[in-house]
Chain A
Amino acid sequence: MNSDRRVFVTGLGAVTAIGRNLSEFWQNLIAGVCGIRPVSLFDASAYRTQTAAEVRDIPDGFLSEAQRRRMSRADRMGLAAAAEAIAAAGLDLSREDPTRVGVILGGGTSGLLDSEEFYERHLRGRKARPSKVLNHLPDSITDRVAQHWGLGGIKSTITTACSSSANAMGYAFDAIVSGLADVVITGGSDVLARLTYGGFNALRSVDPDPCRPFDRERRGLSIGEAAGILVFEEAEHARRRGAPAPVEFRGYGVTSDAFHMTAPDPSGVAGGRSVRAALASARIDAEKVDYVNAHGTATPQNDSAETAALKAALGNRAREIPVSSIKSMIGHCLCASGAIEAVATAMTIHEQTVPPTIHYEHPDPACDLDYVPNQARDARVRVALSNSFAFGGNSTVVVFGRV
């Protein structure tokens, strides 16, 4: 592969429970604002728990009423975050060769909330409207982003559950480095649905209170929803048009735990492989890592296994650097978690400020790193990792660096 092609991040967009755009999201992250609240999208009274980090306001005013009617919430959130990222990149896509601009997103729930309604009506023997299933497949958002901006390059949707959008960024990186594309709109958008809410509750993996990553008393995750979009651009392409490019996507590692469908390898050996693969891809030594944006779901198993993985892969460096989980504020955004956490990681490098892990009270001997408890911190961050671990043992680590 043509290794002299590098990938700069020229635009970011975010729609989350704690902010409808990048600056609101970042301000609230740094302030330690919690977006985990009572569920309002459906009646949650019959579930074991009733809280989630919902997006209450989607800034989709640029879409017509007719466009919005055809779209799922995930589509509208994804388009809103993409519009913000493309504008921030200063990209006039009408001036680009459309065949050289791709869209590679991570997806999963997509229009599931609507198709659940279709299915429920069908199960009750009632007529169900076909428009309710039009956006069921996770690739809908990818096609819609390409449609909205008239893009004719590669389109792909990665569906590896909670590591989907991290892998999408990896695929976007490979697509640019290999010369398949010059610009790729990447990241993901994923929303709350009864399937996922019921599923994690059925597994007894949801904390009835806002989640407490790395805390000894942690009792599970909080489900969230978000759209995080990043504009990846070949470095020369970005330089030629004078694009803002403070952050580089340096590489990624994707590995399989080959351990268990839902449980992480407690020894950290499997997770450590993923971190090492990422560092090898980025050609960076463990000593150069300044920050880790953790997967940090707040399930008892994940947080101790992830801690072990970081110690296995980074050695002593793991104890010297900040490691935080923003899921304590925006919940676990499932297939969009890798994307929104990547946005936060890029901002950490840009702002030289590390977001905190909130709700942290009780140190756990099995989680003995510096989790940036409750208060954001200024820090020199030149290289940062973001971890995403998924059902199926799909483990992905992405690497960002300061340009």
Chain B
Amino acid sequence: MAHRGVITGTGAVCPLGRSSEEFYRRLLAGESAIRPMTTQERGTLQATHVARCDGFSPQPEIPPMKARRLDRGSQFALVACSQAIAEAGYDVSADPEAIGIAIGTGSAGAGALTEFLRVLLTESPEAAPPFHFPNTVANAPASQVSIELKLYGPNITVTQKDPSALNALLFAALSIASKRARAMIAGGVDEWNPVYALGFDRVSALRGEKRSSGIVQGEGAFALLLEQEEAARARGARPLARLSGIAVAGVPTEPYRFAPDPQAMKRAVSGALADAGVAPGQVGLWFPSRDGVEEMDAAELEAMRAVFGSPPAEILVKQAIGEMAAAGGGQLVAACRALADQDGPFGGAPGPRRALVNSFGAGGNFLAAVLEEVPREAAS
């Protein structure tokens, strides 16, 4: 098994904090940012709750003049990615071609898209503001980050339901394995949008007054800096964690349907463990995919029991920040922080510490990843 890379920096802009440290600390304290929607947010939805980056300001990372050119998702992403680079102490300018970015998203561009179309559809095509059109593309956040941070390497955006961020991490790992890049920012970004919320509500995806099973939507951006391990060591970086295994499983089904298939989920989890070369008993912490879709949550538990007997201790992320295509990024960031935390959820258990991140979504899209601590001596 070839190592997939080490994570040397993390960043987060999310409902539970504006840095990965704040997010992790409040998550461990049992806080949740899920709150009732305002009357304006709710409109005609049957959904009742949401988790948003209330009061978010792009400053100080993004100067006001620059922030005006970036939509909400791009602002989230640029702040989170800048934090990850800063924490890693990574010098992009030393070799800009060696570093790229892979971002997962389900909603990037939604604000620009709905605003452009609103004018086009209700006034006239000629009145539609050209300024918004370039930001309607899902790759706007990743591209704005590349432009601002001067990353010349691979630049990829992936959209594949709830596990989009893990899918982006997989692409990033392949980019490093194939030597297309020595470092990749991987993560996810989503912006809450009232029209998208209406669509999800109408297709019965959201939990609310009329439905007890469903998701609560979140928003935010998460970033990891994944580096080729030898390169990270050579520059004297201190890794937070190592990505040691990742696997994907699919179920053939309608794009918007849930496929609560424990066998396929088990295939993703066992695949990640096998890729990491570890036995179930060597995993001490679990970040479940669990998001409130009852049949999916039950299937995940069944799959975990089949693999582990008794599943490891768990940290629930989506109950604190909501569900989104970027949510897996939040689980990954929390896992990295937990692995580097001497006094954290692993307690004094003998090492090496390992964490499992599950990210299972609609349309039969399942990914799982195993991360492990990087012992001090191995990193020096």
Contact = CB atoms under 8 A, between A and B. Distances in A.
Interface of A: 1, 46-48, 70, 98-99, 102-103, 107-108, 115-116, 118-120, 122-124, 128, 130, 133-140, 142-144, 146-161, 167, 171, 174-175, 177-178, 180, 194-195, 197-204, 253-262, 270, 273, 277, 281, 390-394
A122 B143 contact: no
Interface string B233-274: 000000000000000111111111000000010010000000
A194 B158 contact: no
Nearest to A145: B252
Contacts of A102: 250
Contact of A195 (B113, B177, B202, B253): B113
B264 A152 contact: yes
Given A119-B117, A137-B159, A143-B363, A255 B140 contact: no
Contact of A46 (B125, B171, B253): B125
Contacts of B252: 98, 146-152
Contacts of A161: 137-139
A200 B114 CA distance: 16
B122 interface: yes
A273 B97 contact: yes
B159 A46 contact: no
Contacts of A115: 199
Interface in B300-317: none
B364 to A, nearest CB: 7
Contacts of B167: 156
Interface in B98-141: 100-101, 105-106, 113-114, 116-118, 120-122, 124-126, 128-130, 133-140
A146 B271 CA distance: 20
11 contacts: A48-B125, A108-B137, A138-B159, A143-B254, A146-B250, A152-B249, A153-B250, A156-B158, A202-B130, A253-B180, A256-B101
A254 B180 contact: yes
B144 to A, nearest CB: 7
Nearest to B204: A130
A120 B151 CA distance: 39
Interface residues of B, number: 75
Nearest to B198: A122
B203 interface: yes
Given A120-B122, A154-B248, A256-B147, 18 more contacts: A46-B126, A70-B254, A103-B250, A135-B255, A146-B252, A146-B364, A159-B137, A159-B158, A195-B116, A204-B130, A256-B151, A256-B153, A258-B147, A260-B147, A273-B97, A277-B97, A392-B134, A392-B146
Given A108-B137, A116-B121, A194-B117, A202 B128 contact: yes
A137 B130 CA distance: 23
B195 interface: yes
Nearest to A199: B133
A177 B147 contact: no
B247 to A, nearest CB: 9
A199 B126 CA distance: 10
Contacts of A147: 252-255
B39 interface: no
